[in-house]
């Protein structure tokens, strides 16, 4: 983590809470994040005698199906009902068996992860109906599904939702759900999955049992104290920039301290004995040799044929800083262009392609006769439609063409 980025985030947080009168309203401060759970029971540790060769444990399968769980809580300890995302198209009523009241099931055709469309759907169906009236602050990470859709940002701004994006590589310290909720939630889920396997040894754990297991784990972990402690540990509410422990910055601070030139200059020299073969070479060498540097075979080969190095390409990643995503400047930048104009341009291009294809391939029938237009196929693309509209068959003489003046130019 970077101390400078963290300081900017807390300064921006204080400005938002002060301008919108939210310093004493924990019920208006929310954090949203998602996590994935595997529909498989983890065996855990097995107790056996020392030296045992075969140790068995009951498990469902090697790799289970992934399910995304969307969680959101406020600084006063209130949790919004969870939302589950499955991979697929057909949603069945059995998927929601055992979930808390108000929970939602979303289906994603490509994967079980969240995208911009599902996040906008969650914002309309889950967050807006459950948020209090007035201005609300929603804190989330900089995932593309949360920060790049202009339509979603416009909907949030119209419903008095201020979206604050966390800086990159800081969610492990600044995300309340990461600090207090997801770890006990997954622990309870593994316990429920292990207990289910003991009672159903001959069955596999599938998405039909996911709702019941996640619902039990949610009720055990989504407590008021868990949410309050998460916001308190991150210093978001009550606002405390010093709440982040120093060990989150230890790697960066140590790297900066090691590269300090003043520290290197003050280090005492160890005075180690020299290992150069200068003295032995002078004793064994002849006295008439010059004092210049001698070219050895190894040095000469390095100059003539150096060892090739594999070029390493580094992909520059975009670093997200703390920012208000619902600001007017950001919304203007993210909003898509007019769809109507884009549709008209696309339709015109498609019409031109169809006309050119008909001129190239399809034969033209005149009075029962058929003739194929294969005249100058390469020049046709350069001339355009204006010249080719002048090329027509005559009804009486099929072999005669009416040429265009542009062809002779």
CA 94, CA 100: separation in Å to the nearest integer? 14
Beta-ladder partners of 365:
370
Residue-averaged pLDDT of the chain = 79
Please say if the pLDDT value at position 402 is more than 90: no
pLDDT in tens, 1-26: 888 999 999 999 999 999 999 999 99
pLDDT at 269: 47
pLDDT in tens, 359-387: 666 554 444 444 444 444 444 444 455 44
CA 175, CA 231: separation in Å to the nearest integer? 8
pLDDT at 79: 98
Q: What is the CA radius of gyration of the chain?
A: 35
22-31, 235-244, 304-313, 341-350: least confidently modelled range: 341-350
Within 10 A of 261 (CB to CB), how many other CB atoms are there?
7
Task: Tell me the mean pLDDT in the region 322-336.
Answer: 82
pLDDT at 366: 43
pTM above the 0.85 mark? no
CA 178, CA 196: separation in Å to the nearest integer? 26
pLDDT-derived band of residue 350, with 50, 70 and 90 as boundaries?
Answer: confident
pLDDT at 336: 60
Task: Tell me the mean pLDDT in the region 325-330.
Answer: 85
Count of H-run helices and E-run strands, the chain: 19, 9
Task: Say which residue, 136 or 150, is predicted with more confidence.
Answer: 136
Task: Tell me the mean pLDDT in the region 316-337.
Answer: 77
Exposed e or buried b for every residue in 163-201, given b needs 16+ CB within 10 A?
A: bbbbbbebbebbbbbbbbbbeebbebbbbbbbebbeeee
CA 95, CA 212: separation in Å to the nearest integer? 9
pLDDT in tens, 221-231: 999 999 999 99
pLDDT in tens, 143-167: 888 888 889 999 999 999 999 999 9
Share of the chain above pLDDT 70, in %: 70
Please give the structure tokens belonging to residue 31: 């954090």
Please say if the pLDDT value at position 288 is more than 60: no
* Domains along the chain with CATH numbers: 3-43+58-252 (3.30.420.10), 363-409 (no CATH)
Helix (H/G/I), strand (E/B), else coil: 142: coil
Phi then psi for residue 17, to 5 deg, are -65, -35
pLDDT in tens, 195-240: 998 899 888 889 999 999 999 999 999 999 999 999 999 999 999 9
Cα→Cα distances 215→94, 173, 261, Å: 13, 27, 57
pLDDT at 282: 47
């Amino acid at each position: 983590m970077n101390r400078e980025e963290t300081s900017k985030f807390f300064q921006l947080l204080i400005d938002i809470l002060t301008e919108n009168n939210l310093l004493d309203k924990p019920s208006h401060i929310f954090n949203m994040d998602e996590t994935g759970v595997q529909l498989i029971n983890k065996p855990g540790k097995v107790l056996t005698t020392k030296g045992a060769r075969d140790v068995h444990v009951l498990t469902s399968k090697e790799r289970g199906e992934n399910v995304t769980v969307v969680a959101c809580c406020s600084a006063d300890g209130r949790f919004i009902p969870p939302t589950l995302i499955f991979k697929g198209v057909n949603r069945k009523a059995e998927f929601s068996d055992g979930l808390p009241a108000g929970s939602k099931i979303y289906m994603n055709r490509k994967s079980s992860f969240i995208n911009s469309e599902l996040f906008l759907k969650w914002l309309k169906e889950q967050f807006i109906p459950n948020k209090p009236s007035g201005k609300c602050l929603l804190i989330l990470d900089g995932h593309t599904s949360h920060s790049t859709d202009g339509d979603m940002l416009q909907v949030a701004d119209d419903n008095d939702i201020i979206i604050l994006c966390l800086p990159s590589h800081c969610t492990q310290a600044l995300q309340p759900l990461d600090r207090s909720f997801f770890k006990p939630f997954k622990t309870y889920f593994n316990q429920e999955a292990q207990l289910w396997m003991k009672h159903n040894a001959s069955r596999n754990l599938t998405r039909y049992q996911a709702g019941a297991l996640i619902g039990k784990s949610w009720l055990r972990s989504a407590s008021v104290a868990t949410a309050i402690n998460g916001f308190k540990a991150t210093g978001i509410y009550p606002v405390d920039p010093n709440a982040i422990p120093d060990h989150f910055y230890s790697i960066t601070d140590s790297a900066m301290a090691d590269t300090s030139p003043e520290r290197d200059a003050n280090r005492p020299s160890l005075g180690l004995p020299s290992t150069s073969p200068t003295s032995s070479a002078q004793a064994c060498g002849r006295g008439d040799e010059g004092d210049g540097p001698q070219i050895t075979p190894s040095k000469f080969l390095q100059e003539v044929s150096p060892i090739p190095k594999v070029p390493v390409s580094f992909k520059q990643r975009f670093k997200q800083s703390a920012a208000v995503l619902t600001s007017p400047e950001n919304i203007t930048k993210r909003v898509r262009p007019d769809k109507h104009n884009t549709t008209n341009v696309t339709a015109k291009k498609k019409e031109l392609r169809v006309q050119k294809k008909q001129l190239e391939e399809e034969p033209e029938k005149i009075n029962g006769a058929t003739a194929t237009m294969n005249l100058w196929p390469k020049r046709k693309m350069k001339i355009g439609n204006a010249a080719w509209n002048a090329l027509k068959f005559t009804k009486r003489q099929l072999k005669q063409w009416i040429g265009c003046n542009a062809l002779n130019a």
